[in-house]
Amino acid sequence: MALTQNTLPVVRSVHRDNVDAVAYWATAPAQGEFRTQSLGDPGDGEARVRTLVTGISRGTEGIVLRGEVPESEWQRMRAPFQDGEFPFPVKYGYLNVGVVERGPRDLLGRTVFTLYPHQSLFDVSVDAITVVPESVPPRRAVLAGAVETAVNVLWDAGPLLGDRIAVIGAGMIGGAIACLARSVPGVEVTLVDIDPSKAGLARQLGVEFAGPDTPGADYDLVIEASGTEQGLATALRSVATDGVIVVASWFGSRPVQLELGADFHSRRLTIRSSQVGVVASVRRDRRTPHQRLTLALRLLEDPAFDSLLGDDSPSTELPGIMARLAAPNASGALCHTIEWSAS
């Protein structure tokens, strides 16, 4: 179903009786269900949003669906509007694009992005709403979370003019990082993946492609976004002497082994972590999370990001899709979008 800004209805804020919303809950490893929630009137400072499309963040949501969130991270890994507690049952997700049905007049009928889970209708603080630019289609706008992560990773990484950059892992996050990194003047960006068919994605993004055995050890900066131990090993082999490896993947409770012997010390390699939970330290005192998200939505005006959108399914199929994506070897790595009725 194609959604455009021009087709969105302009609705008026009127009083209604309680209405029911439908939300997806993960209830056990690779299992989930729809639950109904009754909504009264929005509170002061809130808006009612009817969901148009949500996106599945395969990496983090896969970890949640498999019950692999470590107990030590149960609080830090809470989604902004999560209900329930880890490991299960939990309502989890954070890529939601909808239209405002009730609330402040300046928001009525606007397409907005929120960090809300997979739910048909919800009330949320207006402070948690970011208006989607009219030049960004709603389906592409679900990538705002991925692009916001990519912005933070590149703030952490600090690429320089003319750098040779390798991005390990041609998934939604890796693709978003590569797409933004290619805009730095003079850089050479290579997307690295075990799947040779991802060469097509690299071409669409305007970057080079390499398999895990082909990149040479001459990259000034390597960003690991594969979510695999093998990807980290490739990153260590690919970075130049005195180079930096930025680890964007989150492995949940899975242990990861790294070869830190051999020439790791003699080549004076640096491994740095990055994650989107807080603004990168180099910008933390000058950018708020909302400003970072606003930037991400503006960057999504680039149609090249459409290449990061994968399958598209109706919301009725969500429980089955989540069960399939929970498998550790689930195929596909792009953003699977879920269309919700706008009626």
* 203-236 pLDDT, tens digit each: 999 999 999 987 777 999 999 999 899 999 999 9
- Strands in the chain per DSSP E: 19-28, 31-39, 46-56, 83-84, 90-91, 96-102, 111-114, 121-125, 130-131, 164-168, 188-192, 208-210, 219-224, 239-247, 270-273, 309-314, 335-339
Cα–Cα nearest to 150, from 126, 169, 127: 169
* CATH code at position 325: 3.90.180.10
- Residues 10, 75, single domain; the answer is yes
Residue pair 156/246 in contact (Cβ under 8 Å)? The answer is yes
Write down the H helix ranges in 206-343. Answer: 229-238, 289-299, 318-325
Cα–Cα nearest to 251, from 224, 277, 289: 224
Q: Average pLDDT for residues 28-53, to the nearest whole number?
A: 97
| pLDDT of residue 41 exceeding 70 | yes
Q: Give a yes or no: residue 291 inside a domain.
A: no
| pLDDT of residue 10 exceeding 70 | no
Predicted confidence at residue 250, as pLDDT, reads 84
pLDDT tens digits, 93-137: 999 999 999 999 999 999 999 999 999 999 999 999 999 999 999
Predicted confidence at residue 213, as pLDDT, reads 85
What are 40-46's contacts with CB under 8 Å, separation 24+? 41/15, 41/16, 42/102, 42/103, 42/123, 43/123, 45/125, 45/126, 45/127, 46/103, 46/123, 46/124, 46/125, 46/126
Q: Average pLDDT for residues 177-188, to the nearest whole number?
A: 98
Q: Which residues pair with 313 in a beta bridge?
A: 338
Instruction: State how far the Cα of 329 lies from the Cα of 321, in Å rounded to an integer.
Output: 14
- Residues 158, 136, single domain; the answer is no
Instruction: State how far the Cα of 85 lies from the Cα of 90, in Å rounded to an integer.
Output: 6
CA atoms within 13 A of residue 78's CA, in its CB half-sphere: 9
- Residues 16, 137, single domain; the answer is yes
Residue pair 190/215 in contact (Cβ under 8 Å)? The answer is yes
- Residues 37, 131, single domain; the answer is yes
| pLDDT of residue 329 exceeding 80 | no
Instruction: Identify the domain containing residue 246 by its residue range.
Output: 146-273
Q: Give a yes or no: residue 224 inside a domain.
A: yes
Instruction: State how far the Cα of 24 lies from the Cα of 122, in Å rounded to an integer.
Output: 13
Which of 254, 273, 292 terminates a domain? The answer is: 273
- Residues 43, 112, single domain; the answer is yes
Q: Give a yes or no: residue 293 inside a domain.
A: no
Q: Give a yes or no: residue 290 inside a domain.
A: no
pTM of the model: 0.89
Predicted confidence at residue 2, as pLDDT, reads 41
- Residues 22, 42, single domain; the answer is yes
- Give the total number of structural domains in the chain: 2
Predicted confidence at residue 332, as pLDDT, reads 58
* CATH code at position 219: 3.40.50.720
| pLDDT of residue 3 exceeding 80 | no
